[in-house]
Structures are given as structure tokens and as C-alpha cells.
Structure 1
Amino acid sequence: MDAQTSRRVDAEIAKLIAESSKLNAESHKFNAEVAKLIAEATKFHRERAWYPVVLMTTAVGATAAVVKLFF
């Protein structure tokens, strides 16, 4: 292998290493976004689970207030 070919190979290797680093950074950024979305979905799921409890408590309280006013 002559010097010119060696320089080309070295340049190609450097280019591949740079592309690999860029892809790793993008992958890390993507994984962070996915983790945020999962945390947000978990929060919404937890809130949704309490929604019927709040509605029933409100309904019982309103019924008790109406009964106390009229009876």
C-alpha cells in the first residue's frame, strides 16, 4: 500500500469514526426523549386511575348535601 492510499484509508476511517460518534449522540438524545415520554405516560395513567374516585367522592358529597338540605 502506497502513502496516498494509506492517507485515503486513514481519512475514511476518521470519517467513519465521526459518523459513528454523531449516531451515538443522536441515539442518546432519542433515548432521553423516549424516557421523558414514558414518564409522562405513566403520570397520565396514574392520574386517570384516580379520576373515578374523585367523581364518586364528589357525587356522594353532593348527594349528602342535597339530602341534608331537604330532609
Structure 2
Amino acid sequence: MSEQDFELADRRSEEEREAQIAAASRALKIAGRVRCMDCDCSISLARIRAYPAATRCAECQTDFEQEQRCR
């Protein structure tokens, strides 16, 4: 592969990643949640990608699940 081929592949990879981020952001806005329902902090993009229906940030979700186990 030539240097130009590598550059093209890198550019395409970056474009795909940006498109995935934009799609996750749109899906989240459609779902109506971009902020944690408990602490009102932003829900991380990584969490949204992993679980698009998330209503809590990872920290608050962990706390919530621990509270549920103790009951």
C-alpha cells in the first residue's frame, strides 16, 4: 500500500468514527436524555454508545445498582 492509500484509509476511518458519534448523539436526543437524571451531569458518549437508553451517568448507575442489591 502506498502512503496515499494509508492516508485515505485513515481519513475514511475518522469519517466513520465521526458519523457514529453523530448518530449516537442524534439517538440520544431523540430519546430525550443527555444529562443524568440523578446528578444532572452529562452522560458520557462512551456510556451512550454502550447503552443508548441510559438515563444515569455511570457513577450514578453504579450507586443505584448497589442500593438495589442492599434492599
Same fold (TM over 0.5): no
Give the alignment's TM-score, normalised by structure 2: 0.44
Q: Which has the higher helix share?
A: 1
Give the alignment's TM-score, normalised by structure 1: 0.44
Higher CA-based Rg: 1
Q: Which has the higher contact order (CA 8 A, sep 6+)?
A: 2
